[in-house]
Amino acid sequence: GAGVSQSPSNKVTEKGKDVELRCDPISGHTALYWYRQSLGQGLEFLIYFQGNSAPDKSGLPSDRFSAERTGGSVSTLTIQRTQQEDSAVYLCASSHNSYGVEQYFGPGTRLTVT
């Protein structure tokens, strides 16, 4: 079946603008994750959704970052008032609801803030 998809694949935005990044997880996966990959910080966890539970937001770097997951499926990561340090590849992953299971990653959205 289809894997995790993300859109857009590339996004260039001006400093101070808001951006929305979209993730479509694998059908039937109850868990969804956002990670950020940047040169300075490597791969870092941002936020985790599991079913109808409250999301784990412990990795969000500031209150400019937020995410939601509608209907237990599609997720949107929103970055408000973007800064140059937000430039990175944002990766989404999904998995079944079990510990230690494989997370399936999307191809990522490359965000460039000018």
Partner 1 sequence: AQSVTQLDSQVPVFEEAPVELRCNYSSSVSVYLFWYVQYPNQGLQLLLKYLSGSTLVKGINGFEAEFNKSQTSFHLRKPSVHISDTAEYFCAVTLKGGGNKLTFGTGTQLKVEL
Quick note: the x/- pattern for partner 1 over 2-31, rule CB under 8 A, is --x--------------------------x
Q: How far is the CB of 16 from partner 1 (least distance, A)?
A: 28
Instruction: Please choose, from the candidates 41, 31, 35, the residue with its C-alpha nearest in 3D space to the C-alpha of residue 21.
Output: 35
- Nearest-approach distance from CB 79 to partner 1, in angstroms: 19
Query: Strand (E) positions, the chain?
Result: 5-7, 10-13, 19-24, 31-38, 42-50, 65-69, 75-79, 88-95, 104-105, 109-113
- Residues 6 or more apart in contact with residue 54 via CB below 8 angstroms: none
Pairing between β-strand 65-69 and β-strand 42-50 as defined by DSSP bridges:
unpaired
Subset of 32-91 contacting partner 1 (CB under 8 A): 33, 35, 42-45, 48, 50, 56, 59, 91
Number of residues that bind partner 1 (CB under 8 A): 24
Binding site for partner 1 (CB under 8 A): 4, 31, 33, 35, 42-45, 48, 50, 56, 59, 91, 93, 95, 99-103, 105-108
